[in-house]
Amino acid sequence: MPAPTELTGPPEPVPGDPEVTLELARAHQLSDEEYERILALLDGRTPTFTELGVYSVMWSEHASYKNSILQLKTLPRSGGRLLVAAGEENAGLVDIGDGWAVAFKIESHNHPSAVEPYQGAATGVGGILRDVFTMGARPIALLDSLRFGSPSDRRVRYLFDGVVRGIADYGNCVGVPTVGGELYFEDAYRGNPLVNAMAVGIVHHDRVLRATAEGAGNSVIYIGSRTGRDGIHGATFASEELSEESTSRRSNVQVGDPFTEKLLLEATLALAETDALVGIQDMGAAGLTCSSCEMAGRGGAGILLDLDRVPLREPGMTPYEIMLSESQERMLVVAKRGREHEVFEIVRRWDLQAVEVGSITDDGRMRATSGGKLVIDIPVESLVLGGGAPHYEREAEAPEPVTFSARTGEPEDFSAATLALLASANIASRRHVFQQYDHMVRANTRVGPGRGDAAVVRVPGTRKALALATDCNARLLRIDPREGARQAVAEACRNVACAGATPLGITNCLNFGNPYKPAVYWTFREAVAGMGEACRALAAPVTGGNVSFYNENPGGAVYPTPVIGAVGLTEDVERTTGMGFVREGEAVFLLGPSETGWAGSEWQALQGDEPAGALVPIDLELEAVLQRFLIRSVNSGWVSAAHDLSEGGLVVAIAEMALASPGRRIGAMIELEEVTALALFGEGPSRVAVTVPVAEMDAFEQAAEAEGVPAQWLGTTGGDGIGFRTVFSVSMHELARAFDTGLGRALGLIESAAVS
């Protein structure tokens, strides 16, 4: 490698590269102003083609958060038990006591999944896992939040099947349990499916790895798969709207290799046991460019790469291609000078490549050579978020409010409505999906998919457990983004509280349309504001996450969908609850307000209506009190099962609790005084159904009253079905049939669903 001092003069164009012009910059999704800015940053010099590529990916929406960062900064992003502030490292890091911390993050892979669902989803899982294990954390759980168009659409069925298989094949092979998530079908996602993956890992405080590069002379080591031509410009692809031509961008989609990921995971955790590393970062979006520049940016250092040393899959790759490739399962490591052999030894034990490709410098410049000649020479600071990367406040304008559609009639036949709701593709059993995911590997899953509002996973080697949930009812945001975002945060945290765990913080994946459209930007701003309000009220700071704009196509944008991933902690894994009725003869209570409405409800959607009407607003103060009471109730043994009332309202919640009972043998008789359609099927925030053993009823009711939590006695568990006084009842057999076959019927898979 040439010594840093031997390189002088401006970088040279590589033979065969196109001439860099404003036109070419535009083709790289850079605006005219941004191109002017690059020229100024380079003291008037025209960038080389490789440098233009580097700027275009570093300043893409995906890497720079240029249209979102000003809003994101309004969120509570530190405090509580947070060990690093949001965005500082590859994933959020929160203390869970006794020297342990949890690392977690959610990220989107929407655009790749829209054109190549299997690989798009698989590599989404791979990417989020690397974000967690590059912190030195062993991944213990995955969750997936998925949204598709109508399940009767043929292309939607193709996308759905590919996404589920992609997640399954990748997660199963790596050996991390997929324990939960969400699945929704709405026309608004027809051309733009949302595939958001969340990973959760555990790390001891003194083994945390950092994503930084510092110390001139330290070595830059490349680990993992070779670099190929796949995924070039994935980051810029993710930063534009999808169009008819998008399928021709299939080569922008990366290809995953979960076996190599598993080796990389074990090698990385073995590296964390040494103190030979300065920093480590995944070569994910924008590959070698982003990992090298971001690490150098965080450490205030410079970096010099010799691109001739990068392991390649095929000959003849240009510096531009090497810098922009998004080949998967690669890591960039900064090792202490003199300790490189330790890194090589560990990595080679796992049959992976490790090659020294550069060194850290103290000149603050990102430089790279090819054939001994300088091809990149850029100030690092000019590339990164918080440095020279542009950020914008965009024009915002409230869209026309959604007016109430009078078409929605109230259900009249309550039994039929119950079965129709249970069979709805948005409510029916997700078994077809989660049965394809190994949700038990590592033998720590106490509450798995379909068993509770949150998954409960033991922290290995301790009695602690983490409760994990993702949530977002985007219909509510479609009606009112601020109110809907408040409710999304509240529901995700409530799900965790239902298991008896205290929310530690949230990660968010903000899926929106094109921010250059004033109505989209206004919606985004409102949603972030609502999210911040709820996070503050519930003392659940944002630990990090991801923004995915441009989820639109000529048919329109997706519903505003800020998916919230919540992580909660409980000290005793055996003191956690699921949602299934546990015993006959227990009291059923409704915690929270009784007010409900039809706006944004599943019933409304079943009638074929757009989400419309006035939402029942959430009282965040009451929500906080309710969650604290719920956690106390579970931990005091007052409550044996808890289930949030969400899509489908009270009846669906009671039916789901019966269907989750052991052997499906425990139903319930509900003695509600007013058996009205609105009370049965209407939806509203801050409502939880719980079961209370008779011996605990006094303590439970007294505590509820003392803490100001509305607690209404509803009835008693038992019987072979659910009944509402003498008004109506549905047998367990009918409930099970609707619930078990609903998704298969909607997707046209019913025959195979019956077999499994």
Partner 1 sequence: MNWGVVVFPGSNCDDDAHDALARIFGQPVRMIWHRETSLGDLDAILLPGGFSYGDYLRGGAIARFSPVMEDVVRFARDGGVVIGICNGFQILTEAGLLPGALLRNRSLRFICRDQPVRVERHDTRFTNACDPGRVLHIPIAHNEGAYYLPGDQLARLEDRGAVVLRYCAPDGTVSGEHNPNGSVNNIAGIVNEAGNVLGMMPHPERCCDAAIGHTDGRLIFESVISSFVAA
Q: How many CB atoms lie within 10 A of CB 426?
A: 21
- Distance between CA atoms of 443 and 75, rounded to whole angstroms? 36
User: Is 28 annotated in the active site?
Assistant: no
Give the Å distances, CA to CA, from 314 to 54, 287, 318, 366, 481. 21, 17, 11, 25, 48
Smallest distance from partner 1 to CB 175, Å: 3
Is the CB of residue 111 less than 8 Å from the CB of residue 242? yes
Question: In 3-state terms, what secondary structure has residue 686?
Answer: coil
Q: Which is nearer to partner 1, 262 or 337 (CB)?
A: 262
- Distance between CA atoms of 330 and 283, rounded to whole angstroms? 5
Q: For 545-562, give one letter per residue: b (16+ CB within 10 A) or e.
A: bbbbbbbbbeeebbbbbb
Which H helix or E strand runs over 620? helix 620-635
- Distance between CA atoms of 707 and 748, rounded to whole angstroms? 49
- Distance between CA atoms of 737 and 531, rounded to whole angstroms? 38
Smallest distance from partner 1 to CB 458, Å: 7
Is the CB of residue 79 less than 8 Å from the CB of residue 520? no
Q: Which is nearer to partner 1, 169 or 526 (CB)?
A: 169
* Percent helix, strand and coil across the chain, each to the nearest 5: 35, 25, 40
Q: Which is nearer to partner 1, 249 or 446 (CB)?
A: 446
Q: Which is nearer to partner 1, 33 or 751 (CB)?
A: 751
Smallest distance from partner 1 to CB 266, Å: 8
Q: Which is nearer to partner 1, 60 or 172 (CB)?
A: 172
Q: Which is nearer to partner 1, 448 or 568 (CB)?
A: 448
- Distance between CA atoms of 433 and 166, rounded to whole angstroms? 12
Residue linked to tokens 């036109």: 23
- Distance between CA atoms of 651 and 649, rounded to whole angstroms? 6
Q: Nearest-CA neighbor of 222 among 131, 312, 109?
A: 312
Strands (E), 177-237: 178-185, 194-204, 219-224
Q: Which of 109, 233, 432, 439 is catalytic?
A: 109
User: Is 204 annotated in the active site?
Assistant: no
Q: Which of 62, 233, 439, 643 is catalytic?
A: 62
Smallest distance from partner 1 to CB 435, Å: 6
Binding site for partner 1 (CB under 8 A): 165, 168-169, 172-175, 257-260, 262-263, 350-351, 434-446, 458, 460, 463, 573-574, 663, 752, 755-756
Task: DSSP for 583-603, please give it.
Answer: STT-EEEEES----B-TT-HH
Smallest distance from partner 1 to CB 153, Å: 21
Smallest distance from partner 1 to CB 442, Å: 6
Q: Which is nearer to partner 1, 339 or 431 (CB)?
A: 431
Smallest distance from partner 1 to CB 568, Å: 18
Task: Give the residue numbers marked as catalytic.
Answer: 62, 109
